Amino acid sequence: MIKAERLEIHEFRGIRSLTLNLEGNNFAVCGPNGTGKSGIVDALEFVLTGNISRLSGKGTGELSIKEHAPHVDSRNNPDKARVILTAFIPSLGKSITIERSVKTADAVKITPNDKDVLNVIAQVAMHPEFALSRRELIRYVLSAPGDRAKEVQTLLRLDQIEELRTALQKIANACRRHVTSLSTERNVARNQLIKALEIPDLTVKRIIESVNPKRTLLALAPIETLTPKTSLKDGLATVQSVRDRIQRIPKLLANNDVKHLRESLALLASEGTQLQCEMVKKQFLALKNEPAILNNVTREKFLKTGLGMIEAEACPLCDTQWQPDRLRELIASKLRHLEKVALKRAEMEKDLENLIVLLLETKQALLAVYSYGALAKPPLDTSRLKQHASELEIHKQRLESFLPIDESILSLDSITNIPAKVVEEIDAIAKVVESIPEPTKQDAARDYLVICQERLEAFQDVSRRLKQADARFALSQNVHDIYAEVSTSVLNGIYKKVQVEFAELYKFINREDEGGFDARLMPSIGKLGFDVNFYGRGHFPPGAYHSEGHQDGMGLCLYLALMKYLLGDEFTFAVLDDVLMSVDSGHRREVCKLLKDKFPNTQFILTTHDGIWLRHMKSAGVIKPGSSIQFRRWSVDQGPTEWQDRDVWAEIDSHAESNDILGASSILRNYLEYISAELCQRLRAPVEFRGDAQFQLGDLFPNVIGKFRRLLKEAKKAAQSWGQDDIFALIAAREKDFTERVKESKVEEWQINPAIHYNEWADFGKEDFRPVVFSQRELITSLRCEKCNGSFYVLPERGTAEALRCDCGLLNLNLVSK
Amino acid sequence: MNSPQQQEPKGQPEVPTQIFAEFLSQLEKAETPMDVVERLRETILINQDLSDRAIRMALFPDEKSDD
């Protein structure tokens, strides 16, 4: 990971040109909504990853980086929209520069570009979660388990783990289905072989006992044993036999085949089969109006999402009023119903297996008898048998597919019907077969051996394929099971560590009221449950009882725990975009302490629209002096404007020069309010408490002046006590100068209060207003260092004041007397 | 800038790598045929191809000729 040192942004999002000197420190960006804070977050994400989540995530529609990342006035010139980041890589001890233009967002200039540097930048790019908004933060906490698992998996880069699990599961399922299909095929081939051999069951002994008498009739050597290479017709003149087989109907076999076909059709049309069809049909009809069977996957996901979104006493979808517990129970019962439907389907598929086997057997028997039509003399039309075989194949496929239900029901209504034409054609073939003269014993034996060998080979072939399919299924299932075990075990280990770290972090910020807090991350396939302890009353989902502020804290702690696990010492950079807006004031200092104490090596870039939050961060030491920027307004032409002296006074002068005194005075007053609040904080000036924290200029500025005077007096007293006459004289001179500037500003002070004199501004000209600006500027300037331009501040920030100083140390006055 | 523009380098995710390596190690211990393990290693770790088709080819390289 990196530490950001300098960020340059040009013509990007709402920013025209902005440079931030981050210097590897925590940095805060503060300003009202719509002043450009998010542009900085987007710029950091863009320069490091080439992406902007805000323009490419869910719900962004037709937004694109190329078209919408440049400033609106540079939309046709995306090369001007560029971000340059100077950063330091602690692990390599190297400074680097990264530059990316919107025009070529996929390409990046990295200097230097050696392998080690590129690897670090690649790692950063793979973790765009270094930038976290509140919208994303809350997803870790309030999501449904399935969605939370996805969020956490995305953060931990676990999507590949799920991808492989899904692939292995699909392959194992496909292998299992193949085994089932081949098993059915093998059973049919086995039955046909048994019928051809005219034996009750298929054993080597039976086969040999049945085959050898026929071979003896043909003067062939008996078969001693049966191996995969054994041919039952070994020694027969094969070519002649085949020719014979083609030219005439083998009477005995044909008789058997006709008999078998009639038996199969009788079984298919039997009362038992009809009852079975009726039973399954009823089950199908019961499911017909059950939407869950049709789109159970989508529906299950929808319900689970809804379950996780129940926060208030209303349906999250239609806002209908509900008691949350009752609504949760209703949705949970629907989910239980879905599970029942899935079980029911599995049972029905089991019931359908017998019917599917019967359809396959009958189809094969139809095709065998159909083939005799062409051999009859004259040939017989048996096309209806072939057509019926095709129809049975369609019924079989429909029942195997299960859905659509209407088609399965249609097949169940049809399969027991035997068309009269089919019966007629079977009778015709039977008559032809009957009329064939009885073959000699040798001919019958030859036919027997040829047909049995054919069917033995078919049986052996399907058995071989089944064996191979079995082996593949065993391998794929075993590989899947090992993967599932390993991934679950490793993930459990990760979640356990994260769970402990999360609870520690959360307890740190809530130690006063939730010292006994703990949490449970409960992974299962594709889901991640998350329950937290609520004041010792049990474990519940975070949204159940904890306040929104506590949930925000949980989201931050879970995120930090995951990042710490994921990156360890490499977790050196994170952007927290307004993530703690609802944390109550009582816990803000603790959050600041958490960031400072628990993540001392991580550079946080924090944005907030709340100036008080910024002051909390500063006073807690998370943000050092000079490591923040405060936006005051934004315009499409200029982008965000900071509260910087140079810009403010120039802007006021500009308005005044064009006689826009109203505009100039408005900026002056707003700036004085801002800088007064800043100085109150820095000088530790006491201010009358206001519950709404809405302080006006009159509430602050006099207190700044009074406090600074007292500080100078204390500094003089201290210098005197230590015998530092030269310092005493310098302070006295500063005190005199300050008093004169205050006096000057007082003369003009009344003019900057528009609440009193609003109507009079219209009568003022620039000559009237100029002295006002001058006096205020002089006063403000006297409260900051002439060298570093930083405002003076008191150290330490709490407790007994010890020193009044500036950032560069040019002013460093001791406040403690001897 | 003293470097030309370069394409984004590809990195290896940490947790998945840990799991994949452990998975292959456990396959070996379970006496899965070595050729299968090696093909899976190449597909998953080297080619980083986790598609159904690639994994199936790694498991059953002769599938087409047989079926």
**pLDDT tens digits, residue range A511-553?**
877 878 888 877 665 566 778 888 888 888 887 888 877 888 8
| pLDDT at residue A88, rounded to an integer | 92
Q: Which residue has the tokens 């530092």?
A: A724
Give the total number of structural domains in chain B.
Answer: 1
Token reading at A806: 């500036």
Chain A, nearest residue to B59 by Cα: A476
Which residues of A fall within a CB distance of 8 Å from B32? Answer: 475, 478-479, 482
Predicted confidence at residue A138, as pLDDT, reads: 64
What confidence category does residue A800 fall into, taking pLDDT thresholds of 50, 70 and 90? very high
For position A367, what pLDDT does the model report?
93
- Taking the C-alpha atoms of residue A598 and residue A592, their distance in angstroms, rounded to an integer, is 10
How many Cβ atoms from other residues are within 10 Å of residue A222's Cβ?
Answer: 10
- Contact (Cβ atoms closer than 8 angstroms) between residue A103 and residue A45: no
Q: Torsion-angle region of residue A812: left (phi > 0), alpha (psi -120 to 50) or beta?
A: beta
Query: Smallest CA–CA separation between A459 and chain B, in Å?
Result: 16
Give the tens place of pLDDT for each residue, A207-265. 999 999 999 999 999 999 999 889 998 888 754 544 455 467 888 888 888 998 999 99
Number of Cβ within 10 Å of residue A329's Cβ equals 11
Half-sphere exposure of B19 (CA within 13 A, CB side): 27
Average pLDDT over residues A442-471: 91
> Shortest CA distance to B43 belongs to which of B12, B9, B51?
B51
Q: Do A157 and B13 touch (CB under 8 A)?
A: yes
Which residues of chain A neighbour B55 with C-beta distances below 8 Å?
Answer: 164, 167-168, 171
Burial class for A666, CB neighbours closer than 10 Å (0-12, 13-18, 19+): middle
Pick from A109, A158, A478: which is nearest to B3 by CB?
A: A109
Structure tokens belonging to residue A173: 């399922």
Looking only at the bridges linking them, the beta strands covering A573-577 and A603-608 are parallel
Q: B51 to chain A: which residues are within 8 Å by CB?
A: 167
- pLDDT interval class at A158 (50, 70, 90): confident
**Average pLDDT, stretch A95-110?**
89
Quick one: pLDDT band at residue B5, thresholds 50, 70, 90? Answer: very low
In chain A, where are the structural domains located?
Answer: 1-126+572-642, 663-814
Say whether pLDDT at A473 is over 90: yes
Query: Is the pLDDT score of A629 beyond 80?
Result: yes
Taking alpha carbons only, the member of A221, A225, A340, A226 closest to residue A292 is: A340
Q: How confident is the model at residue B9 (pLDDT cuts 50, 70, 90)?
A: very low
- pLDDT, mean of residues B8-32: 78
Residue whose entry in the numeric block shows the structure tokens 């949930």: A551
CB-facing half-sphere around the CA of A246: CA atoms within 13 A: 5
Q: Touching check for A492 and chain B: CB below 8 Å?
A: no
How far apart are the C-alpha atoms of A223 and A641, rounded to whole Å?
101
Three-state helix/strand/coil letters over chain B: CCCCCEECCCCCCHHHHHHHHHHHHHHHHCCCCHHHHHHHHHHHHHCCCCCHHHHHHHHCCCHHHHC
**3 state SS of A539:** strand
Which residues are registered as beta bridge partners of A791? A784
A363-377, A414-428, A534-548, A587-601: segment of lowest average pLDDT: A534-548
Pick from A107, A125, A485: CB nearest B6: A107
pTM of the shown model: 0.60
Query: In which element (H, E) is residue A507 found?
Result: helix A441-509
Per-residue DSSP letter, A78: T
pLDDT at A490: 85
Q: What percent of chain B has pLDDT over 70?
A: 73
Residue A13: what residue type?
R
Say if A108 is an interface residue toward chain B (CB within 8 Å): yes
- Judging by DSSP bridges, how do beta strands A573-577 and A131-133 pair with one another? parallel
Query: Which region among A6-15, A172-181, A702-711, A712-721 has the lowest average model confidence (pLDDT)?
Result: A172-181
CB pair distance less than 8 Å for A108 and B56: no
The secondary element (H helix, E strand) that includes residue A573 is: strand A573-577
Whole-angstrom distance, CA of residue A164 vs CA of residue A95: 38
| 3-state SS, one letter per residue, for A270-312 | CHHHHHHHHHHHHHHHHHHCCHHHHHHHHHHHHHHHHHHHCCC
Average pLDDT for A172-201? 88
| Angstrom distance (rounded) from CA A672 to CA A702 | 11
- Answer yes or no: is pLDDT of A625 > 90: no
pLDDT attached to residue A748: 56
End-to-end CA distance of chain A: 49
Residue closest to A153 by CA, chosen among B15, B3, B12, B20: B15
Of the candidates A622, A638, A804, A818, the one whose C-alpha atom is nearest the C-alpha of residue A730 is A804
Cβ of B11 within 8 Å of Cβ of A119? The answer is yes
Would you say residue B58 lies in a domain? Answer: yes
Q: Please give the interface size between A and B, counted as residue pairs whose CB atoms are below 8 Å apart.
A: 105
Q: Which residue of A has its CA nearest to B19?
A: A487
**Which of A144-153, A394-403, A627-636 bottoms out in mean pLDDT, i.e. has the lowest?**
A144-153
- What Å distances lie between residue A327 and A34, A45, A746, CA to CA? 38, 40, 65
Closest CA to A390 of A413, A373, A414: A414
Say which residue the tokens 């120039």 belong to. A650
Q: Are strands B6-7 and A107-111 parallel, antiparallel or unpaired?
A: antiparallel
Q: What is the pLDDT of residues A269-310, one digit of tens each?
A: 999 999 999 999 998 888 776 665 555 544 555 565 566 555
pLDDT higher at A147 or A812: A812
Pick the CATH number of A1-126+572-642 from 3.40.50.300, 3.90.79.10, 3.30.565.10, 3.40.50.720: 3.40.50.300
Task: Please determine, for the modelled complex, whether the ipTM score is greater than 0.90.
Answer: no
Q: Does B56 touch chain A (CB under 8 A)?
A: yes
The two structure tokens encoding residue A770: 């100029």
Convert the pLDDT of each residue in A581-603 to its tens digit.
767 767 887 888 899 899 999 99
% residues pLDDT > 70 (chain A):
85
Residue numbers in A near B60 (CB within 8 A): 472
At A55, is the pLDDT very low, low, confident or very high (cuts 50, 70, 90)? confident
Among the listed residues A65, A46, A47, the one whose alpha carbon sits nearest the alpha carbon of residue A55:
A65
**Cα–Cα distance measured from residue A592 to residue A577, given in angstroms and rounded to the nearest whole number:** 15
Q: Is A568 on the interface with B (CB under 8 A)?
A: no
Mean pLDDT taken over chain A:
83
Is B31 at the interface with chain A, CB within 8 A? no
Question: Could you give phi then psi for residue A76, rounded to 5 degrees?
Answer: -95, 5
Q: Quick check: helix, strand or coil at residue A601?
A: coil
The answer to whether residue B23 is domain-embedded is yes
Distance CA A18, CA A671 (A): 20
Specify the higher pLDDT residue, B33 or A323.
B33
How near does any CA of chain A get to the CA of B62, in Å? 11
Cβ-contact A816, A718 below 8 angstroms: yes
Q: Tell me the C-alpha distance between A538 and A632, whole Å.
A: 46
Q: What are the angstrom distances between the C-alpha of A261 and each of A226, A266, A332, A422, A671? A: 29, 8, 52, 11, 99
Q: Do A104 and B5 touch (CB under 8 A)?
A: yes
Q: What is the pLDDT of residue A585?
A: 67
Would you say residue B32 lies in a domain?
Answer: yes
Q: Which one is predicted more confidently, A236 or B55?
A: B55
pLDDT exceeds cutoff 50 at B11:
no
Q: Which of A90-99, A185-194, A599-608, B57-66 has the lowest mean pLDDT?
A: B57-66
* pLDDT score, position B39: 96
State which residues form the domain around B60: 14-66
The secondary structure of A611-660, three-state, reads HHHHHHHHHCCCCCCCCEEEEEEEECCCEEEECCHHHHHHHHHHHHHCCC
A168 interface with B at CB cutoff 8 Å = yes
**Which of B4, B6, B59 minimises the CB distance to A171?**
B59
Predicted confidence at residue B67, as pLDDT, reads 41
Most confident by average pLDDT, A317-331, A650-664, A715-729: A715-729
Residue closest to A709 by CA, chosen among A783, A775, A798: A783
Contact state of B15 with A107 under an 8 Å Cβ cutoff: no
User: Is residue B2 one of the residues assigned to a domain?
Assistant: no
Three-state SS for A692? coil
User: Which residues from chain B sit within 8 angstroms of residue A122, using beta carbons?
Assistant: 8-11
B55 token code pair: 């994994």
pLDDT value at residue A268? 94
Query: Please, which residues bridge with residue A6 across strands?
Result: A21, A86
pLDDT of A487-510, one tens digit each?
Answer: 888 888 888 888 899 889 988 888
Phi/psi of residue A521, nearest 5 degrees: -100, 120
Distances (CA, A) of A149 to A307, A377, A755, B17: 15, 72, 56, 19
Name A184's Cβ contacts closer than 8 Å, sequence gap at least 6. Answer: A353, A356, A357, A360
Where does residue B31 rank: exposed (0-12), middle (13-18), buried (19+ CB within 10 A)? exposed
Instruction: Tell me, rounded to whole angstroms, the distance of Cα A277 from its chain centroid.
Output: 45
Sheet arrangement for strand A803-805: A793-795, A803-805, A812-814
Predicted confidence (pLDDT) at residue A678 exceeds the cutoff of 50 = yes
Interchain proximity A157–B3, CB inside 8 Å: no
Q: Among all chains, which residue has been given the structure tokens 């086969």?
A: A207
- Judge whether B4 lies within some domain: no
Q: Is the pLDDT of residue B2 over 50?
A: no
pLDDT of residue A514: 81
Q: Which residue of B has its CA nearest to A174?
A: B56
> Residue B48 falls within a domain, yes or no?
yes
